[in-house]
Structure 1
């Protein structure tokens, strides 16, 4: 996997904002191509229909909006009330009508984008706490959202693949995942393939690599 070994790609804040825009457009276009009955079909995530997936992405925008509100006002506002409530909300979303889910997704995505536009440079530096209880700067929120919309556009199962995602995004994504998984250059030396296939493998998604060990789900 020479394309990743020994490299440390970087991302800027502007990169992340651009990827949110591009990823949201990709996912929205995929959703717009679904008939109401298609929402009940299986996504590429085990045990989840497209309704589960769409509810998750919509709820994620609302949750990240909470972090943006925290950065804007200084008043603590966590992403979710609890993991149990988050999971219950996703299950409830799977029972909602398709048009209702689509409207929620569009509203939440639009509100998150507007909220991010309001933040000042100083507010972007405020600390927030993620759902995984990791303290980060608010400026990381766009990257968190970019991952969600791009990867779940693939997970929707409508023909979008990792090859449809921007190379600069995939390089940063792959580097982040390998770091979080604790994979060294030695661990990756026996794996070779195109960047989209390698990124899909690292993310625990279907891929075309031969002989690559299964890593399990991520995100």
Structure 2
């Protein structure tokens, strides 16, 4: 059972971590490349701010973005801003998200995100948590996948294996860290491959932050995953 209140608190904690880390940057370093191809650290911070506002739209029953092109245009517009403006925007947009999450509501209702994706409102705080944790890593300023809370790592693996489950372009795969196990990819009576590794390495591969070199694959090669 998803506990949206717990996840909102986890989002707040994760946001505090990224705000504290970002405050240690300066106007030169915020303009430097992030770990995401083609994006500066300013792009990453701008995306986090605009994503918070987009998820407020979702919680309040509006389209996530008024048009498909607006998401990228807003990020490009906001990326070059000085550090103090970036940090203030992230703090204020995060507060708006928390305020929207504090409004009494039917958390079992369905809501629509980008590209026609429909989900339970109760999963929106976890989706925001994922944005904050993974993009903190993308900033490339000392926060790594190993620093992410284990609860999030396990749940994000759950989320991503569910996302790829049944995908026709992903071979049937059994994933394990030796304690937990997941299946994903094309339906099959017997998985094509078994992928074994630490929780962190499994997460890194599934979310596209690592190439999977830390994983062991039996039965074939490591599956190529579609972009998120």
Please state if 1:130 is matched with 2:113: yes
Residues 135/210 of structure 1: CA separation in 2 closer, same or farther (3 Å cut): closer
Specify the alignment match of 1:6 in structure 2. none
Once the 2 structures are TM-superposed, how far is the Cα of residue 14 of structure 1 from its aligned partner?
A: 3.8
How far residue 166 of structure 1 moved from its aligned partner, in angstroms, is 1.1
Match among 151, 173, 193 for residue 156 of structure 2: 173
What are the ranges of 5 or more consecutive residues in structure 1 without an aligned counterpart? 1-9, 71-76
Render the CA deviation track for 1:137-159: whole Å, top value 9, x for unaligned. 32221011101001111111111
**What is the rounded CA distance, in whole Å, between the counterparts of 1:135 and 1:192 in structure 2?**
31
Larger relative helix fraction: 1
1:83-102 → structure 2 map (5 Å cutoff): 83-102=68-87
Higher relative contact order (CA 8 A, sep 6+): 1
Bigger Cα displacement from structure 2, 161-170 vs 90-99: 90-99
- 2:138 equivalent to 1:149: no
Counterpart Cα distance in 2 of 1:26 and 1:136: 27
State the distance in 2 between where 1:131 and 1:78 align: 8
Kindly indicate whether the alpha-carbon contact (under 8 Å) linking 2:2 and 2:122 is maintained by their aligned counterparts in 1: no
The offset of 1:218, in angstroms, is 4.6
How many Å apart are 1:11 and its aligned residue? 4.5
Alpha-carbon distance in 1 for matches of 2:44, 2:226? 15
Structure 2 unaligned residues grouped into runs of 5+: 166-171, 175-190
Aligned to 1:136, the other structure's residue is in SS state strand
Give the one of 9, 24, 46 matched to 2:15.
24
Structure 1 residue ranges (4+ consecutive) displaced by more than 4 angstroms after TM superposition: 216-219
Contact 1:19–1:169 at 8 Å: present in 2 too?
no
Task: Decide whether aligned partners of structure 1 residues 216 and 99 sit closer, same or farther in structure 2, where only a CA change above 3 A counts.
Answer: farther
Q: Does 1:52 align with 2:32?
A: no
TM-score by length of 2: 0.80
Question: Whole-Å Cα distance in 2 between the matches of residues 18 and 123 of structure 1?
Answer: 18
103-112 vs 122-131, greater mean Cα deviation: 122-131
Are the aligned partners of 1:204 and 1:215 in contact in 2 as well (CA < 8 Å)? no
- Tell me the secondary structure at the aligned position of residue 113 of structure 1: helix
Separation in structure 1 between the aligned mates of residue 44 and residue 152 of structure 2, nearest angstrom: 21
* Deviation for aligned residue 1:57: 0.6
How far off is 1:216 after superposition? 5.3
Rate the CA distance shift 1:123–1:32 in 2: closer, same or farther, 3 A: same
Match of 2:210 in 1: 206
